[in-house]
Amino acid sequence: MSAPRSHADGLDARVRLSRGTMDLDVPLTAEPGQVIGVLGPNGGGKTTTVLALAGVLALEEGHVRVGGDVWDDGRRRLAPERRRVGLMLADSLLFPHLRAVDNVAYGPRSRGVDHHRARERAHLELERVGLADRAASRPRELSSGQQARVALARALATDPALLLLDEPLAALDPDTRARTRSDLAARLTAYDGVTVIVTHDPLDALTLADHLVFVEDGRVTQSGTPAEVLSEPRSAYVGTVVGLNLYAGQGDSHGHVTTVKGGVVVTTSPTEGSVWATVPPSAVSLHLHEPEGSPRNAWRLRIASVTMQGQSARVGLVGELPLTAEVTLESVTALGLQVGQEVWAAVKATEVRTYPR
């Protein structure tokens, strides 16, 4: 029986460098076959991390080791072209004058593989992404989703130990994105190297990644499996990504949480001390008059935004406790909800979850 693979066989990195006003310090580890999703706000350091892993940016401290080989340790640095890296960006960057098979073959050809073997490999990779019948097509003859799959095939044709995907689906329309995401997930399942995918889209991350890493202001604010992150977000940004109202505060034994901004939330599952409190937007009901009955949380708030999403709407509320509610379109119409209007927001205490900070 073969020995279990470890991070030493995959990715072991600590990316430390300064860029502009940001000091980046991001540790990343993964075993072969793992997909790491890197998320964070614009300017937080996601793309800088990917460029350092690829060798485009040099480390000032830290290290990058892949498959046991040292790519960068702050003193010795392997040139980008000598790293076994596959890179796929939001813009597929296909050569417009080359057919799909030759675009894919370009990767192995640039690594010294002869023309015949490179084209053989290209045909194989196109078959793996479901485009064997479009091998002779030029980029202008392909849909945006097909172009993205050709770019993925090209990245994988060089047998990379590390596959870097920087917003690979960002340029696609919603329908194409959904189909391409499914194709990408299937292809990554058969890839035995380490994949790092940078994305702003939580659905991309939750669908494709085994492990999530959130980078904000150059630091990792949370990491864990998708299930762990969904159940216990630990920063306002992470709360937004997973779709929860999240508050930092102090909890007492009676189930009262006083948030850092002075609001009070009541829960039936008290946690004492420094806590996070979460409220699902779907648990928030809106009323024109102060509600009576079972809710133990009620606040008079002002509507700051109303955003339609399919058959529901997300209503942003500001006041004593900033809150996002998810309500039906029927509720929007029946209550006449509009920006600037004051309403009562209610949440049952049983819907509020707390856990230690």
CA 357/CA 348 separation, integer angstroms:
22
Yes or no: say if 16 and 59 are a contact pair by the CB < 8 Å rule: yes
CA 191/CA 128 separation, integer angstroms:
11
* Confidence at residue 278, expressed as pLDDT on a 0 to 100 scale: 95
Taking only the tens place, the pLDDT of each residue in 186-239 is 989 999 999 999 998 888 888 899 999 999 999 999 999 999 998 899 998 999
* Confidence at residue 170, expressed as pLDDT on a 0 to 100 scale: 86
Other beta carbons within 10 Å of 79: 8
Q: Which helix (H) or strand (E) holds 215?
A: strand 211-216
* Confidence at residue 202, expressed as pLDDT on a 0 to 100 scale: 86
6 pLDDT more than 60: no
Q: CA 334, 335, 341 angle in degrees (round to 5)?
A: 155
* Confidence at residue 253, expressed as pLDDT on a 0 to 100 scale: 92
* 244-356 CATH, one of 2.60.40.420, 3.40.50.1860, 3.40.1710.10, 2.40.50.100: 2.40.50.100
* Confidence at residue 261, expressed as pLDDT on a 0 to 100 scale: 87
Nearest to 260 by CA among 249, 272, 271: 249
Taking only the tens place, the pLDDT of each residue in 159-191 is 999 999 999 888 888 888 888 899 899 989 999
Query: 185: number of CA atoms within 13 Å, CB side?
Result: 14
Predicted model pTM: 0.85
* Confidence at residue 8, expressed as pLDDT on a 0 to 100 scale: 61
Going from N- to C-terminal start, the domains of the chain cover: 7-236, 244-356
CA 335/CA 227 separation, integer angstroms:
35
* Confidence at residue 200, expressed as pLDDT on a 0 to 100 scale: 86
Q: Which helix (H) or strand (E) holds 5?
A: none
Residue with tokens 């793992």: 34
The SS3 call for residue 256 is: strand
Structure tokens at 227: 């299930």
149 pLDDT more than 50: yes
* Confidence at residue 280, expressed as pLDDT on a 0 to 100 scale: 95
* Confidence at residue 1, expressed as pLDDT on a 0 to 100 scale: 38
Taking only the tens place, the pLDDT of each residue in 237-292 is 999 888 899 999 999 999 999 998 889 999 998 999 999 999 999 999 999 999 88
* Confidence at residue 294, expressed as pLDDT on a 0 to 100 scale: 65
Yes or no: say if 29 and 8 are a contact pair by the CB < 8 Å rule: no
Q: What's the first-to-final CA gap in the chain, in angstroms?
A: 42
* Confidence at residue 20, expressed as pLDDT on a 0 to 100 scale: 87
Taking only the tens place, the pLDDT of each residue in 296-335 is 899 999 999 999 988 899 999 999 999 999 999 999 999 9
Q: Which helix (H) or strand (E) holds 282?
A: none
The SS3 call for residue 57 is: coil
4 pLDDT more than 50: no
Enumerate residues 6+ apart whose C-beta is below 8 A from 186: none
Q: Which fold does the domain 7-236 belong to in CATH?
A: Rossmann fold (3.40.50)
CA 345/CA 340 separation, integer angstroms:
14
Taking only the tens place, the pLDDT of each residue in 10-53 is 999 999 999 989 999 999 999 999 999 999 999 999 999 999 99
Instruction: Please tell me if the domain spanning 7-236 has the same topology as the one spanning 244-356.
Output: no
CA 187/CA 14 separation, integer angstroms:
27
* Confidence at residue 7, expressed as pLDDT on a 0 to 100 scale: 54
129 pLDDT more than 60: yes
In eight-state DSSP terms, residue 140 is: G
Which strand ranges, in their side-by-side order, compose the sheet holding 245-251?
264-266, 256-259, 245-251, 273-279, 353-356
